[in-house]
Structure 1
Amino acid sequence: MSNDNVIDMNERGGNGFNRSFIKLGIIIVVIIAILGLIFANLFVVKEGEYKVIRQFGEVVRIVEEPGLTYKIPFIQSVTTLPKYQMTYDVSEAEINTRDKKRMLIDNYAVWRIENPKDMISNARTVVNAETRMEEFIYSVVRTELGKLNYDEIINDEKSSRGSLNDIVTEKVNELLEKDKYGIVVTDVRIKRTDLPEENEQSVYTRMISERESTAQEYLSRGDADKNKIEAETDRDVKEMLAKAKAEAEKIRAEGEAEAAKIYNQSFSKDPEFYSLYRTLESYKKTIDGETIIVLPSDSPYARLLMGYTD
């Protein structure tokens, strides 16, 4: 009997097992590749950002809400745009005021992307959007400051800067909206105003002169107020002294009258004492250390001086 018709079952079973194992390995590799491809095209949208999905260079979808999303492999790509507010330093520029003064203005702007699709369509990039925004800011600032005099811009007491910032912000947004750049300026502020170097000294000299003039005006007003106060005080003092003197004279007259009344009442009770008192009072006025009196020895005046009372 021929051996050609004999089948080795051990050999056949081994080859079948190997083929099954290879197929299983291929399936696992394919599954892993598919899962890897899926995970590679999933991405997370974070708070404060836009995800822009492009297909062959064209924007097909913009994702704004935070979370997990996807893109089609190989034919779509993802870029990120900021959703939060950003600050942009506008380049320093020279402007002319209404009174023909040259000034250097330094601004900054706070802005954000409001419509990513419009921004990409018309500005293409964030850098281009900032460039267009800067051009509009410079144009509006130059126009608005050109309506003001130099002193109104730099002088804190006369400054219109508060309302000027609001006006510039509003007008820049109008220009951005008109051209559909998809961005909004929250605020435009003037950081610094300077003079060109060749004009600084003349302006400083004029400012010093104005300040000295103002100081002199204050001093003159102070001197005038001082003289006025002194005149009013002198008048009040004179009135008070006159009133006090009149009051004193009145009191003195009343006292003398009262004293005379008391003297009369007292002296009327003893006329002899009154005579003696009047005599003694006359001595005080007629006799001093150099007085010489010649009197008869028997006169009452001499007797009193010598101490005789009988």
Structure 2
Amino acid sequence: AAMPTIDPPSDQPPQLATPRRAWRRWLAAPLALAAAVSSVVFVDETELVIVERLGEIVAVYDQTAPPSSDRGLHFKLPWPVSVVRRFDCRQLLLDPPAREMFTRDRKNITVSSFLAWKIADPAPATPLTSRPVVTFFRRLGDRATAESRLDARLRAALSAEIARSDLNQLLQVETSEQGPGDDSPLSDVARRTHLALVAAMGSETLRESLGIDLIDLRIRRINLPEGNRIAVYERMRTERMRIAERYRSAGGAERTRVESQARRQSEELLARAEADAERIRGEGEAEALTVLNQAHALDPEFYEFQRTLSAYSRILNDQTTLVLSAGSRMFRLLREGAPGMEPQPSSRAADALVIPETGRQSAAPGGAPP
């Protein structure tokens, strides 16, 4: 039988080798691109970045202040050899729901508060493993865990501080136009709670233990549970009405005092004014009499004549009948005229009206006897 022949090996690859090699090249290209992309680390202005290589921290980008800022583009080994951890470096707000708490006088209230915090900034020349962001990553891991821990501590510290104050102290109304100040009861409770949160770690600060800083803590509002809100509001209304009535009484007393003082001052002013008026009036009358006497002394006869005319002007009118004796001054004035004047015809005619038997004269119109 013939022996089978074996062909010598050929240097040419089988025909199927060419498609396989092309497939490998097409697969290697995306992998190389993905590796290149994963080797680039871009640090944003709002981020803190940790680079781990096989579980060991090899780089930390947490310098945000110029000129040592490390924001921008960096490189690392591709994933999964190196892993990037990103954290927010901005101020964050913890806003837990309102919780019921008891005051020192055993009143039940609901307290709503908020807490501002952030991952602490590193001190200069801080070792890599002691950076605050590294401590935050190792102790807390992420923001949700950090806020859960802070919420628990905030609730405990705030409850303890609320229990040290009475309800009336917490409900004191701020009368300033600027609103509650730094010395208001709620601000004081928030300040003590802030200090209690910082001191809760014992010898370690919050930055050393968790890598975070507390920026601010405020109490937004306090309220009463629905069950006893009406009763407490009524008690508060009664108390405010009592205070308002006290203010009204004090205001009424002050008004009475001011009115009495004003009335007394007015009477004193009027009395002084009347006294001054009487004095001035007396001085004026005295001066007028002096001037009048001086004028009379200059011409006594003219003074008598003026007085007679004044008497005529007061008693005579169209309906007056006057009966005069022949020796009266008025009759003499009618008959003779003023001193130093020539008798007028009317005065001579008046002589014919004289009644010798009676010595009386009628001044009535028509010469009718009186």
How would you bin the TM-score normalised by the shorter chain?
Answer: 0.7 to 0.9
Q: Which residue of 1 aligns with 2:140?
A: 123
Q: Name the SS for the 1:84 alignment partner.
A: coil
Among 213, 217, 234, the alignment partner of 2:246 is 217
Name whichever structure is richer in helix by fraction.
1
**Where in structure 2 are the equivalents of 1:181-260 lying within 5 Å?**
181-260=210-289
The CA distance in 1 between the partners of 2:298 and 2:163, in whole Å, is 106
Q: Shift of residue 203 of structure 1? A: 1.8
| Greater Cα shift, 226-235 or 105-114 | 226-235
Q: Shift of residue 303 of structure 1? A: 2.8
Report whether the alignment pairs 1:308 with 2:308.
no
Among 145, 163, 169, the alignment partner of 2:194 is 169
Paired residues of 1:109 and 1:189 also in contact (CA < 8 A): yes
Among 306, 327, 330, the alignment partner of 1:299 is 327
CA 1:216–1:52: 2 relative to 1, 3 Å: same
Q: TM-score when scaled to structure 1? A: 0.75
| Greater Cα shift, 26-35 or 98-107 | 26-35
Among 42, 49, 57, the alignment partner of 2:47 is 49
Paired residues of 1:55 and 1:75 also in contact (CA < 8 A): yes
**Where in structure 2 are the equivalents of 1:1-310 lying within 5 Å?**
35-36=32-33, 38-47=35-44, 48-54=46-52, 58-64=55-61, 65-66=70-71, 67-71=73-77, 73-114=79-120, 115-157=132-174, 159-175=184-200, 177=205, 180-277=209-306, 297-301=325-329, 303-304=331-332, 307-309=334-336
The CA distance in 2 between the partners of 1:303 and 1:92, in whole Å, is 116
The CA distance in 1 between the partners of 2:194 and 2:30, in whole Å, is 53
Q: Name the SS for the 1:148 alignment partner.
A: coil
The CA distance in 2 between the partners of 1:159 and 1:41, in whole Å, is 54
Q: Name the SS for the 2:298 alignment partner.
A: coil
The CA distance in 2 between the partners of 1:26 and 1:105, in whole Å, is 66
Paired residues of 1:94 and 1:103 also in contact (CA < 8 A): yes
Q: Name the SS for the 2:234 alignment partner.
A: helix
| Greater Cα shift, 63-72 or 243-252 | 63-72
Identical pairs, percent? 25
Q: Which residue of 1 aligns with 2:124?
A: none
Q: Name the SS for the 2:104 alignment partner.
A: coil
CA 1:281–1:89: 2 relative to 1, 3 Å: same
The CA distance in 1 between the partners of 2:230 and 2:147, in whole Å, is 35
CA 1:133–1:61: 2 relative to 1, 3 Å: farther
The CA distance in 2 between the partners of 1:37 and 1:264, in whole Å, is 134
Q: Which amino acid aligns with 1:186?
A: I
Q: Shift of residue 291 of structure 1? A: 11
Q: Name the SS for the 1:197 alignment partner.
A: coil
- Unaligned 5+ segments in structure 1 are 1-11
Q: Shift of residue 184 of structure 1? A: 2.2
Q: Report how many residues are paired.
A: 291
The CA distance in 2 between the partners of 1:63 and 1:187, in whole Å, is 27
How large is the RMSD of aligned CA atoms in angstroms?
3.9
Paired residues of 2:52 and 2:58 also in contact (CA < 8 A): yes
CA 1:266–1:150: 2 relative to 1, 3 Å: same
Q: TM-score when scaled to structure 2? A: 0.65
Paired residues of 1:62 and 1:117 also in contact (CA < 8 A): no
